Structure 1
């Protein structure tokens, strides 16, 4: 599988602290890639570096072989990348319907509401009044409605019920888009996904394991 996105010797600093220490990481096109690791391992920073919401202090970001390190987050989004962050992933002052319409542009809202029918009775509610799990459903639904070819999602099922979480992972595993998830551990629903699942484990800002989901299961 060819790499859709890559970090090449990437370093990220937050003030005096270095969060990524020369990370080399490839996100395979057409596959599901899962970044695992404890809090503080660098998972979220990898997503932000790829999306362009934090700058690199060293190294590069490549998209299909093209160096996009200097492109802004907005420019990367315009190329076809969507980030679902772990916090503030929806516009709290807008209604659920307005959040979805912003992402859908001219597309119909039906597919997203079919995926998460729990959102249908909440369409007129302000997104900021939803529960944590409901906000995560809305955030993922917005990403699904966007025309993005690459989805970066930071713990997308956080706060969801086990049933809804399993549905979410099954959906992401079936998408034709390239999907990169940040999780504390490999979700059980992805251990037998219908397409390739690649796992990278991070520890203290470095990659300590890269392999297939089956290897993690063993």
Structure 2
């Protein structure tokens, strides 16, 4: 397996507190990787470090063989990275249609059919008036409809209905398998609907990697 993006000896600090303690982790190209951990374990910080949303105090970010440690988040987005954070992942003052238009110009209702049909009747609504689960659907749809080859998503199904969660897992698995994109998720637990699709799992505890390997190895532990 070739590596798409990775952290090398990454350290992140929030003021006097260090959130990542020399973390090494890699996401293979065209496959699905999951960062696991409880709240405060460092999985969200690791994802943000990959996206360029937080700076490294030490270490490196290497993407497709190129060091991008000092590359700002907007430049990583232009290079082909889409990041869905755990909060404020949509433009609340824009309609659902306008949010989708930013990712896929001229898409309209056709693109919602290809991702989340439940969004179609919501197209004229302001995104800020949607429920939490609906906003997550919109955020995931925007990432999937973008031309990005690398998708980073922080708890993408939080607040979704079981049906929308299942649909999300199907779409993310297809993004890797059928479309060859690299997908990295941050989750508290390994989603049952993605166990067959996940290739690599990194479990973080207290800002350090406690386990890296295949999902079957994690279950045996």
Q: Equivalent residue of 1:163, what SS?
A: helix
Structure 1 residue 109, shift from structure 2 partner: 5.5
Structure 2, unaligned stretches of length 5 or more? Answer: none
Distance in 2, Cα, partners of 1:128 & 1:120:
16
Report the counterpart of residue 80 of structure 1 in structure 2.
Answer: 80
**How many residues align structurally?**
216
SS at match of 1:90: coil
Q: Work out whether residues 100 and 107 of structure 2, in 8 Å CA contact, stay in contact via their aligned partners in 1.
A: no
Q: How far apart are 1:192 and its partner, in Å? A: 2.0
2: CA distance, partners of 1:129 / 1:24:
39
Residue in 1 that maps onto 2:189: 185
1:115 paired residue number: 115
Q: Give yes or no for the alignment of 1:161 onto 2:173.
A: no
Question: 1:214 offset after TM fit, Å?
Answer: 2.0
Residue 64 (structure 2) aligns with? 64
Q: CA deviation at 1:56?
A: 0.3
Write out per-residue CA displacement over residues 54-75 of structure 1, whole angstroms, 9 at most, x where no aligned residue.
0000000000111111111011
> Deviating runs (4+, > 6 A) in structure 1?
none
For 1:22, the equivalent position in structure 2 comes to 22
SS of the residue corresponding to residue 6 of structure 2 reads strand
Instruction: Give secondary structure in 2 for the equivalent of 1:8.
Output: strand
Supply the distance in 2 between the matched residues of 1:110 and 1:16 (Cα, whole angstroms): 49
Q: 1:87 to 1:130 in 2, by over 3 A?
A: same
Q: Deviations over 1:89-116 (max 9, x none)?
A: 0000100000000111355652343321
Distance 1:8 1:210 in 2: 14
Paired residue for 1:174?
A: 174
TM-score, structure 1 length as denominator?
0.96
For the Cα contact (< 8 Å) 2:109–2:120, is it kept in 1? no
How far apart, CA to CA, are the structure 2 residues paired with 1:170 and 1:212? 20
Q: What are the ranges of 5 or more consecutive residues in structure 1 without an aligned counterpart? A: none
- Distance in 2, matches of 1:172 and 1:110, equals 19
Task: Tell me how large the CA RMSD over aligned residues is.
Answer: 1.2
Please list the CA deviations of residues 9-51 of structure 1 after superposition, one character each: whole Å capped at 9, or x if unmatched. 0000000000000000111101100000000001110111011
Contact 1:112 1:144 survives alignment (8 Å): no
